[in-house]
Amino acid sequence: MAAGAVDVPLEYVRLGLRFDRLEPGFVDAYTGDPRVRAQVADEPAPTAPQLRDQARGLLAELDSAALPAGRTAFLRGQLTGLECSARKLGGEPVGFIDEVAAYFQVQVGLGDPAEYAAAHAELEQLLPGSGNLAERYAVHRRREECPPAKLETAVHALSSALRDRVRAQYGLPEAETVTYEVVTDKPWSGFNYYEGDFHSRVAINADLPHRLSQLPHLVAHEAYPGHHTEHCRKEVGLVERQHHVEHTVFLVNTPECLMAEGLADLGVEAAIGEGWGPWAAEVLGDLGLRFDGHLAERVAAAAAPLNRVRQDAAILLHDRRADPDVVTAHLQRWGLVSHDRAVQQLRFLTDPLWRAYISTYVEGYDLLAAWLAARPAGQPVADRFLRLLDEPLTPAGVSAELAAA
């Protein structure tokens, strides 16, 4: 680096840590030099306009920083997201759609009710019986609920089975570990706290019922081959081998979140693939927990388009200024969820820090699923998925690859 030049990656890390002082929880994980964090903690308390100006300053320095194209693209996306977050924290009104575009490099809009209706029709065929579809779907889901007393045992069994597969398919550091804990009063179903040195603490929210067919997705998402696996492999590769300091901090409401949530939501597909339902039924059956794995897999595929209903709710609530009761009714009608579940989802969508985050699940899954499906002929899914675990890919970069293909 030339004398007097700004070390953009290091200053980006400092900036991210300053955001956490203004908005606790903004730093999802930090595995870097503790002295850097201590230095930031000793600074005067930052203001939102100061953080906005610092983000803009680093964006202006990027082109002269002489970084490789991949690092430049990653940092540009991250800093653009931070600049928008600083404006919002400073009280500037930013529409939901514009907020999502700045944070995650995707354009969003309302889903197509015709696609939801087609999903409902398919579910009608899979779930015959008396009552309307929402009632039958609720009955099906209740049949699959994991007894609370067996939740932790079931999670550990699935984690062990998935870990064995991921170690064989993708490789993991020998020292890696995951600790699970059951928590309450959270707006999410599960959360990965990556603590560095190849260790994660995964919290599971006991306030929500957990279905047996959903648990493999939850464990794959948070641990193997999802968040924990990605953190471990990037710590080994990007941080320890390549010394890319920008990957020592993971910041919410930035493009890396969409990539992380998309790859995590594809975890079961990447680790098990077709037949995951019977596979999970066999693992849990050894614990005396029974469900129809074949039916669960078909129902999950049929219901997948309804995932977008949650993003609709955010758009209606924040950009269309719809009444919360109207949004709750929309979630119940098209998402086939109970009133209580819709209210819980609304809680996530109205959290100031997390309101835009719903798009990471909706758009992240769709974007990366399409990218996996567009892999070169003959390339195994695992080879393509490994790029998500190891490379600092961005939503914009993945979209460009898809367009070129």
pTM of this structure: 0.95
Compute the distance between CA of residue 222 and CA of residue 203 in angstroms, rounded to an integer: 9
Q: Of the candidates 36, 63, 94, which is a domain's last residue?
A: 94
Helix, strand, coil content of the chain in percent (nearest 5): 65, 5, 30
Q: Do 147 and 60 fall into the same domain?
A: no
Instruction: Tell me the per-residue pLDDT of 344-385, one tens digit each, with 9 for 90 and over.
Output: 889 889 988 889 999 999 999 999 999 999 999 999 999 999
Segment (H or E) for 39: helix 34-42
Q: Do 59 and 189 fall into the same domain?
A: no
Compute the distance between CA of residue 343 and CA of residue 207 in angstroms, rounded to an integer: 13
Q: Do 13 and 155 fall into the same domain?
A: no
Look at the block and give the residue holding tokens 């939501």. 265
Which residues in 17-39 are b (16+ Cβ under 10 Å) and which e? bbbbbbbeebbbbbbbeeebbee
Q: Do 215 and 86 fall into the same domain?
A: no
Q: Do 28 and 164 fall into the same domain?
A: no
What is the count of structural domains for the chain? 2
In the beta sheet, which residues pair with residue 182? 204
Q: Exposure of 124 by Cβ count < 10 A (0-12 exposed, 13-18 middle, 19+ buried)?
A: middle
Q: Do 254 and 130 fall into the same domain?
A: yes
pLDDT at 185: 81
Cβ atoms 202, 181 nearer than 8 A: yes
Q: Does 131 map to a domain? A: yes
Q: What pLDDT tens digit does each residue of the chain (405 aa) get?
A: 555 579 999 999 999 999 999 999 999 999 999 999 999 999 999 999 999 999 999 999 999 999 999 999 999 999 999 999 999 999 999 999 999 999 999 999 999 999 999 999 999 999 999 899 999 999 999 999 999 999 999 999 999 999 999 999 999 999 999 999 988 887 678 899 999 999 999 999 887 789 999 999 999 999 999 999 999 999 999 999 999 999 999 999 999 999 999 999 999 999 999 999 999 999 999 999 999 999 999 999 999 999 999 999 999 999 999 999 999 999 999 999 999 889 988 988 998 888 999 999 999 999 999 999 999 999 999 999 999 999 999 999 999 999 998
pLDDT at 405: 83
Q: Does 2 map to a domain? A: no
Q: Does 377 map to a domain? A: yes
Phi and psi angles of residue 251, each rounded to the nearest 5 degrees, phi first = -115, 135
Q: Does 105 map to a domain? A: no
Compute the distance between CA of residue 252 and CA of residue 103 in angstroms, rounded to an integer: 9
Q: Do 76 and 193 fall into the same domain?
A: no
* 339-350 helix and 309-318 helix, angle to the nearest 10 degrees: 60
Q: Do 312 and 259 fall into the same domain?
A: yes
Q: Does 106 map to a domain? A: no
Q: Do 198 and 257 fall into the same domain?
A: yes
Q: Do 73 and 153 fall into the same domain?
A: no
Q: Does 237 map to a domain? A: yes
Q: Do 54 and 147 fall into the same domain?
A: no
Question: What sign does the CA torsion over 348, 349, 354, 358 have?
Answer: positive
* 255-265 helix and 227-234 helix, angle to the nearest 10 degrees: 120
3-state secondary structure of 264: helix
Q: Does 127 map to a domain? A: yes
Which residues in 240-250 are b (16+ Cβ under 10 Å) and which e? eeeebbbbbbb
3-state secondary structure of 201: strand
User: Domain range for residue 68?
Assistant: 8-94
pLDDT at 189: 81
